[in-house]
Structure 1
Amino acid sequence: MKNLKRTFILSIFILVLSLAVRAQTGLKNGDVAPNFIAKDSEGKSINLKQLLKQNKAVVLFFYRGQWCPYCNKHIKDLQDSLQSLNAKGAYVVGVTPETNESISKTKEKTKASFSLVSDRGYKIMKDYRVDFVMEETLASKYKTYGIDVAKNNGATDAVLPVPATYIIGKDGKIKFVQFDTDYKKRASIKQILAIL
């Protein structure tokens, strides 16, 4: 019962956050995807241009953190369908503002075996127009429920992405966008596979 109450209260706060994120627009279908180079949590070099040379597409998604039940469900769904996604020539990359330590918790919860990248400095999130700086009052409320966004991010500011999924084609252009400030809405595996 205690966990149910905590989840309900957390959902209310996330809803408040989602209403405040409307200023973000994300990128659109047909836009050229900004290149990025980063290391994933396993130390593997992730370079979008290189991935597109080696794969038919990249499924790039942004998630808030290991504390978010909707993020964890989405990651589990992607992991459960990873063979189907790979069979269609897709490489899956998740981006979060959290530290590698927090990414390890995500991997424990979801069994994710694909690349997860810690976006230190929020450059990838900014390039894809999904970054959102939480107001101090909201960040403080999260802390009362044991979620210190800034600490999870290894930063002094509390920044989260709007949950979003992009499918980037071999030509470097975005073929599919799921961008919605409603934190409950994520791209379905069916939608992703249909585009691939």
Structure 2
Amino acid sequence: MIKALLGQIKRWYAIPYLFMCIVVTVQSASYHLSANAFSWSWLGVSVAIAPLVLFMAIVYFLPWSGISNYIAVPILAALLGAFLAIIEMRFLPTFYTLFFGLGGVLIYIFWYSDLDRRDNPVLKIGAKLPDFTVQSIAGEERHSSAFLGRKTLYIFYRGNWCPVCHAQIQALAEEYQEIERRGVAVVLISPQSPEKSAELALRLNLTMQVYVDKENRAAKRLGIVHQYGVPLGVWGYGGDTVLPTTLIVDENGSIVYADLTDNFRVRPRVKTLISALDGVR
């Protein structure tokens, strides 16, 4: 009950918070331009909030994976902004700085980014990967047993709307020949629609296998459903998604590598996956 409630609150957080940060940053800049006066408190607003807005924009427009759990620059900027704001203690800018700046940054990094992932007894190294069924982009069903007989790298990703997922898949596409040379099949699975999956495959010119997990059926079998994981305001993807999950399974269907990240911004680097593949006998 409490976990579901927190999940719904998280769903409401990201886009409204980002919008308010942009509004407050613009208001701070407007003050200095229109009032023709300098204010430490209003400067503190920009210093505390702008770096996180910039970070979110960079992740969205220039996506990359492998970001660390704790991003230092926004935290240090928020602390500096809070210090500048309390020099004058003007009510409105100080409130903005402490609430949207320091408070918002800490919430984003230490609460919102955390997937609250529980221990998964199903996806243990050495265990057999449970059976599941997915669909091709054309709508044909495929059972997981069809992937047996060769090493398989499974990437369960949230959807086209997730910039970190996009970055992870793009990085895989760039190193795909290195992976294929090792005789490994790469299988991408997402609960998004076949049309959106086809769009991603076309945009990134993917030669990897792309499948659709309709209604998160496979994710439910594996215990990796992320309830209320799609942010409010992201249309066309439903409310639930999948917890980002990377698995390497050997020819016999046994799990030999599992990355069950507990932070949506952090994914295993391709070099890490290649090293793990090289270690599979």
Decide: shared fold, TM above 0.5.
yes
Equivalent of residue 174 in structure 1, options 250, 255, 264: 255
Corresponding residue for 1:8? Answer: 56
SS at match of 1:50: helix
Query: 1:131-183 CA deviation, whole Å, 9 max, x = no partner?
Result: 11117xxx5x621xxx12xx324xxxx11111110000112110000111201
The aligned residue for residue 60 of structure 1 is 154
Q: Which residue of 2 aligns with 1:128?
A: 222
* 1:190 has 2:271 as partner: yes
Which of the pair has the greater relative contact order for Cα pairs under 8 Å at 6+ separation?
1
Residue in structure 2 matched with residue 93 of structure 1 by the alignment: 187
* 8 A contact 1:24–1:132 mirrored in 2: no
Offset at residue 106 of structure 1 (A): 2.0
Between the two proteins, what is the percent identity of the paired residues? 20
**Other-structure match for 2:213:** 119
Inter-CA distance 47–125: structure 2 relative to 1 (3 Å threshold): same
2:115 and 2:256 map into 1 onto residues whose CA distance is 27
Q: Describe the shift of the 1:50–1:118 C-alpha distance in structure 2 as closer, same or farther (beyond 3 A).
A: closer
Distance 1:164 1:108, change over 3 A: same
What is the distance in 1 between the residues matched to 2:211 and 2:203?
16
Change (3 A) 1:21 1:105: farther
Q: Which residue of 1 aligns with 2:114?
A: 19
The amino acid across from 1:152 in the alignment is: Y
Does the 8 Å contact 1:33/1:168 carry over to 2? yes
Length-normalised TM-score, structure 2: 0.56
Match of 2:134 in 1: 38
Higher mean C-alpha deviation, range 59-68 or range 5-14 = 5-14
User: Which residue identity is paired with 2:181?
Assistant: A
**SS at 2:114's partner residue?**
helix
Number of aligned residue pairs: give it: 179
Instruction: Specify the alignment match of 1:49 in structure 2.
Output: 145
Superposed CA deviations along residues 88-138 of structure 1, whole A, max 9, x for unmatched, are: 111111111100121123224432221121111211111222111117xxx
TM-score normalised by length of structure 1: 0.78
Structure 2: distance between partners of 1:163 and 1:66: 13
Gaps of 5+ in 2: 1-21, 23-51, 61-104
Give 1 or 2 for the bigger CA radius of gyration. 2
The corresponding residue for 2:232 is 142
1:131/1:161 contact within 8 Å kept? yes
Deviation at residue 186 of structure 1 after TM alignment: 1.1
Alpha-carbon separation, structure 1, partners of 2:206 and 2:138: 12
Structure showing the higher strand proportion among its residues: 1
Letter in 2 for 1:167: I
Post-superposition shift, 1:72? 0.5
Q: Which runs of 4+ in 1 moved over 6 A?
A: 9-14
**Kept in 2: contact 1:164–1:177 (CA 8 A):** yes
Deviation at 1:185, TM superposition (A): 1.3
2:114 is aligned with 1:29: no
Root-mean-square deviation (Å): 2.8
In structure 1, the gaps of 5 or more residues are none
For 2:108 and 2:128, the matched residues in 1 are separated by: 30
**Residue 133 of structure 2 contacts residue 218 of structure 2 at CA under 8 Å; is this kept in 1?**
no
| C-alpha distance in structure 2 between counterparts of 1:52 and 1:95, whole Å | 16
Partner of 1:69: 163
Structure in which a larger fraction of residues adopt helix: 2
Contact 1:76–1:111 (CA under 8 A) maintained in structure 2: no
